[in-house]
Amino acid sequence: MKKLILVLLCFMLTGCLEQKYIERIGMITAVGYDLGNQNKIKGTTVAFQFDPTRQNVSQMLTSEANTSKGIREAMNRETSHHLVSGQLRVSLYGEELARRGIYTFVDTLARDASVGTMSYLAVASPEAASILSAENLSITTNVGTYLYRLLEQNIKSEQTISSTLHEFLKTYYEVGMDPILPMISLMNEKKVTIEGMALFNEDKMVGVLTPEESFYLKLIREHFKSGSIEMELPREVMKEALVEKKGDESVFITIDNIKSTSDISVKNKKSPDFNVDIKMEARLLEVSEELVSDQQITTRVLEKAIKHTIKSETKKLIEILKEKESDPAGFGITYKSTFDKSDLSNEQWRSLYQKMNLTTAITVSVISIGVMD
What is the pLDDT averaged over residues 198-214?
96
User: Exposed/middle/buried for 290, CB within 10 Å: 0-12, 13-18, 19+?
Assistant: exposed
User: What pLDDT is recorded for position 179?
Assistant: 96
Model confidence band, residue 12 (pLDDT cutoffs 50, 70, 90): low
E strand or H helix at 124: strand 120-125
What is the pLDDT averaged over residues 233-238?
94
Structure pTM?
0.87
Q: Give the β-pairing of 120-125 and 90-94.
A: parallel
User: What pLDDT is recorded for position 288?
Assistant: 92
Are the C-beta atoms of residues 48 and 142 closer than 8 Å to each other? yes
Q: Compute the mean pLDDT over every residue in the chain, rounded to the nearest whole number.
A: 87
Are the C-beta atoms of residues 122 and 182 closer than 8 Å to each other? yes
Alpha-carbon distance of 175 to 346, in angstroms, equals 6
82 or 343, higher pLDDT: 343
120 or 145, higher pLDDT: 120
Alpha-carbon distance of 153 to 160, in angstroms, equals 9
User: What pLDDT is recorded for position 17?
Assistant: 45
